[in-house]
Amino acid sequence: MAEVAVYSNRDCELIDITGKINALIPEDLECGICHIFCQHTTAGLTINENADPDVRHDLLKKLDALIPKNESYYRHGEGNSAAHLKSSLMGVSLAVPVRNGRLHLGTWQGVYFCEFDGPRSRQVEVVFQTAESRRK
């Protein structure tokens, strides 16, 4: 198992961690699965476009509109209920195919750490599983 360190600078932020994960792939792993897990309850993971930064902006703005930071019915005493809700909505784990020693993502895709309660220092767990090919 490996870890990726993530450092956020803002309250809500999408941080591209694709390169960090690709750098961890074992040299001998030609085909398999990369399991990525976020152990935080106010952050998440997603795969989305990594060519145009406006996509990240738009996604964060829509999440803020759907889940405002302050609501009169929030009860959680730490004041970060919106971050918990966004984390649940985005999810905390991904499974990405590995092909030819790299994450097998679409042309415009990247893996993003979704910070919803920053700025903070975070960790993401990464596990690689080899795919067994069988010949008949």
Average pLDDT, the chain: 93
Work out the angle at residue 77's Cα, subtended by the Cα atoms of residues 60 and 90, and round it to the nearest 5 degrees: 30
- Name the pTM for this structure: 0.93
Q: In the prediction, which pLDDT does 136 show? A: 45
Express as a percent the part of the chain with pLDDT over 70. 97
* Predicted confidence (pLDDT) per residue in 38-94, tens digit: 999 999 999 999 999 999 999 999 999 999 988 788 778 787 899 999 999 999 999
101: CB partners within 8 A, 6+ apart: 25, 27, 29, 30
pLDDT tops 70 at residue 34: yes
